[in-house]
């Protein structure tokens, strides 16, 4: 397996397919790089170099006690980019991975970055506060923590329904898709899974978004039950200098079916432009 070791000794697994301008994918919680397989193959078959890593604590990467925080996630991403000597990178982040992309730019700038894609991403802030009334109340995230601490296997099985919109009338989401979500989730270490909840929910990415000075594609489903669009994409697009917003009517949080095909086409258009 391909991997590198971070400065704090954590082994980070990654996939590296194809050749050309690099497109680097950051996955959502509590998944791993496999969540991006369809898009990795897509861009690699169309003349790009596709790279995706398992966040520390997730998938096949090391599971250290320390470093399960957004700054370290961003620094791990930076070390991946540097270790592979990547330039003119197109960063693509889904959900928590979108926060990772924003924080990477906030901490490391865009010297190596050509474009960014934020898909169903958590910025600028998921938590409801007086200044962010569109966010979700802390009880929602406390419920996630309780699910992770308790019977996390069943919790992930249940969570897959709202993640992919399988709980909506007329849904065609397969059991296989939901099973894949469960499998990836169970590969995430308990400590990392628990710690990451605070990171994706309580991190304020406002200043990070303001630092993004490259063309950015902000994409979000308007039936996202995990990261509500009103607290996320609709605000992010106002903070990023050169951002284009695409709203997918009726689409859930996770890529599936027609929604995935539509995003794939838009992704290719954006990275080719």
Residues facing 248 on adjacent strands: 221
CB-CB neighbours of 150 under 10 Å? 10
Contacts of 111 (CB under 8 A, 6+ apart): none
Active site residue 253: yes
CA distance 3 to 249: 38
The residues, any chain, with a CB within 8 Å of residue 224's CB and separated by 6 or more, are 120, 232, 251, 252, 253
Catalytic residue status for 61 = no
Task: Say what the pLDDT of residue 1 is.
Answer: 78
For 236-258, write each residue's pLDDT tens digit: 999 999 999 999 999 999 999 99
Q: Determine which one of 95, 160, 185, 236 is catalytic.
A: 95
pLDDT, tens digit, for every residue of 208-222? Answer: 999 999 999 999 999
- pLDDT tens digits for 105-141? 999 999 999 999 999 999 999 999 999 999 999 999 9
When pLDDT is cut at 50, 70 and 90, the band that residue 147 belongs to is very high
Mean pLDDT of 229-233: 98
Q: CA–CA separation, 219 vs 28, rounded Å?
A: 14
**What is the C-alpha to C-alpha distance for residues 254 and 119, in angstroms, rounded to an integer?**
10
Burial of 68: CB neighbours in 10 Å, binned 0-12, 13-18, 19+? buried
Structural domains for the chain: 3-272 (3.40.50.1820)
- Given the residues 34, 75, 208, 224, the one annotated as active site: 224
């Amino acid at each position: 397996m391909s991997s590198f070791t971070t400065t704090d000794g954590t082994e980070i697994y990654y996939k590296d397919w194809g050749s050309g301008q690099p497109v680097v994918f950051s996955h959502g919680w509590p998944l791993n790089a496999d969540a991006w397989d369809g898009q990795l193959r897509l861009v690699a078959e169309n003349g790009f170099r596709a790279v995706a890593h398992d966040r520390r604590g997730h998938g096949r990467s090391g599971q250290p006690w320390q470093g399960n925080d957004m700054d370290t996630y961003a620094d791990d991403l930076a070390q991946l980019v540097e270790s592979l000597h990547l330039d003119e990178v197109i960063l693509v982040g889904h959900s928590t991975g979108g926060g990772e992309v924003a924080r990477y730019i906030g901490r490391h700038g865009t010297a190596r970055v050509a474009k960014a894609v934020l898909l169903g991403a958590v910025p600028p802030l998921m938590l409801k506060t007086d200044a962010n009334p569109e966010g979700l109340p802390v009880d929602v995230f406390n419920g996630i923590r309780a699910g992770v601490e308790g019977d996390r296997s069943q919790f992930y099985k249940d969570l897959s329904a709202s993640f992919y919109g399988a709980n909506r009338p007329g849904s065609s989401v397969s059991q296989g898709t939901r099973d894949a979500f469960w499998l990836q989730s169970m590969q995430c270490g308990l400590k990392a899974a628990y710690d990451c909840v605070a990171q994706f929910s309580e991190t304020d990415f406002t200043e990070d978004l303001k630092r993004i000075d490259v063309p950015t594609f902000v994409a979000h489903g308007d039936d996202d039950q995990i990261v509500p669009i009103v607290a996320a994409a609709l605000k992010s697009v106002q903070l990023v200098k050169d951002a284009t917003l695409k709203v997918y009517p009726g689409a859930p949080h996770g890529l599936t079916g027609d929604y995935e095909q539509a995003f794939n086409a838009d992704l290719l258009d954006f990275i080719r432009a």
